[in-house]
Amino acid sequence: MTRLLALSQTSSPLGPHERQGGAISLLVAIGLVLLASLASFYSARSVLVDRLASQNQTQAVQARLAAEAALAWGRAEMQRQHASNRAPAVWGPGTSTAPCPSGFITARWQCVALQPPAHTALPEAVAQVLAVRDLIGSPHVALLLASASLKDGTSRAQVQAQVFVPTLAPAPHPPNPAAVVLNGCASVADPASTSGKTHTASRVCPGGLNSACTPSAWASVLGDTTPEQIRAWSEAQERNGLSALSQPARSVYWVDSPATWSQSVGSPEAPVLLVFSGQACSQRCPDMAAGVRVVGTVVLQTQCQDDKVRGWFAGHIVGQVVVESGLPELQSGSRIEASEQASAPYRMPWPEGMDTRQVQRVPGSWRDGGP
């Protein structure tokens, strides 16, 4: 009995300290397992995030490269069109006009959407180019806004740059200061009806048709800019909603109608260029109605035929009159005053040394992102 009692006492349960230590060990083991699981989870998550970031970066680079390729295509397309036509079709009637971005919302801004071809190296990208120009202040400068997005919608990029597009040529410098610029002979001006100096070109054009007519008066004022370019510029302003009453007001008018001109246009702050074409002057250049006042430059395309302006009534012109023939006489009451601002509508800024016959990027205009 004594021995059994002793054995019973030896095999008694663990004490409180031993049980507490076991529980702690179990908790530590569970905690280590949890920590290992969390570490594994976050490690896998980190790998996934890094993979997604790398994929997003790759997609962003693809969209960026597609946008830059579209921008380069837009510039090349401008050059291609200019090489075939000095009034590029991108600005002509029938082109795909598009809403202008914020900041380019008045009628002075012309926006045209261009659709570049799919890039063979980036077939999953869709690109677009928007050409924007100021029809009053700089019609020879195009802002190209290129954007590209991946077809799955995961990434999008925008780049932009300005290019000079020779839709016009630089005006002669210094400007011709004469109130009347002729391509032939002029009668003695009546001091009561005209003021300012009269400039007569060295070429003498007799009345009647002259097939060898050289528009020296035009060249002395407008330089190498062609009538076709001025006409395209005028039509673009009209299509865009510019008029004498718009804000800002229209600055270029090409007139084919032989009817008497009855609208006052231009102001000292915003002079105009008003051209009566060879079609308008086919029989006789249109008179200006009494009371009409034009501030700016008026051009008469008489094709070296004095009779087309014989007895012409000029109204009140503040600026300059350019006649592609002589000016035999003016009707009584005509008034022409010289103004230094006469060339402002067509005298555009061109950087010194630029080849004005080529499409060229404006230095420092490239930028990442939208307008």
Kindly report, residue by residue over 81-91, the tens digit of the pLDDT. 877 776 666 77
Asked if residue 109 and residue 229 are part of one domain, the reply reads no
Confidence of residue 188 (pLDDT cuts 50, 70, 90): very low
- Asked if residue 239 is part of any domain, the answer here is yes
- Asked if residue 17 is part of any domain, the answer here is no
* pLDDT tens readout for residues 131-149: 999 999 999 999 999 999 9
Cβ atoms within 10 A of the Cβ of 213, count?
A: 17
Q: What amino acid occupies position 140?
A: H
Asked if residue 338 and residue 360 are part of one domain, the reply reads no
- Asked if residue 41 is part of any domain, the answer here is no
* pLDDT tens readout for residues 1-47: 445 444 445 555 556 666 666 777 777 778 888 887 777 777 777 66
CA distance 260 to 290: 10
- For the cut 90, the answer to whether the pLDDT of residue 191 exceeds it is no
Asked if residue 305 and residue 186 are part of one domain, the reply reads yes
Tell me if 335 sits within 8 A of 239, measured CB to CB: no
Which has the minimum average pLDDT: 2-16, 110-124, 291-305, 324-338? 2-16
- For the cut 60, the answer to whether the pLDDT of residue 190 exceeds it is no
Asked if residue 363 and residue 265 are part of one domain, the reply reads no
Asked if residue 155 and residue 86 are part of one domain, the reply reads yes
Q: Which domain holds residue 302?
A: 180-343
- Asked if residue 189 is part of any domain, the answer here is yes
Which among 62-71, 171-180, 287-296 has the top mean pLDDT?
Answer: 287-296
Tell me what the mean pLDDT of segment 313-339 comes to. Answer: 94
| H-assigned helices in the chain | 2-10, 16-84, 216-222, 227-239
* pLDDT tens readout for residues 271-308: 999 999 999 999 999 999 999 999 999 999 999 999 99
Higher pLDDT, 63 or 13: 63
Tell me if 365 sits within 8 A of 179, measured CB to CB: no
- Asked if residue 158 is part of any domain, the answer here is yes
β-bridge mates for residue 321, sequence order? 180, 298
How many domains are there within the chain?
A: 2
Tell me what the mean pLDDT of segment 317-327 comes to. Answer: 95
Tell me if 350 sits within 8 A of 356, measured CB to CB: yes
- For the cut 70, the answer to whether the pLDDT of residue 80 exceeds it is yes
Asked if residue 161 and residue 297 are part of one domain, the reply reads no
Asked if residue 337 and residue 261 are part of one domain, the reply reads yes
Cβ atoms within 10 A of the Cβ of 188, count?
A: 7
- For the cut 80, the answer to whether the pLDDT of residue 197 exceeds it is no
Asked if residue 293 and residue 190 are part of one domain, the reply reads yes
- Asked if residue 55 is part of any domain, the answer here is no
- For the cut 90, the answer to whether the pLDDT of residue 94 exceeds it is no
Asked if residue 112 and residue 188 are part of one domain, the reply reads no
Asked if residue 361 and residue 316 are part of one domain, the reply reads no
- For the cut 70, the answer to whether the pLDDT of residue 365 exceeds it is yes
Asked if residue 270 and residue 227 are part of one domain, the reply reads yes
| Strand 156-164, strand 138-150: pairing | antiparallel
- For the cut 90, the answer to whether the pLDDT of residue 335 exceeds it is yes
Asked if residue 358 and residue 253 are part of one domain, the reply reads no
Helices (H) and strands (E) in the chain, counts: 4, 13
**Torsion over CA of 280, 284, 289 and 292, rounded to 10 degrees?**
60
- Asked if residue 281 is part of any domain, the answer here is yes
Residue 306 token pair: 């004095």
- Asked if residue 111 is part of any domain, the answer here is yes
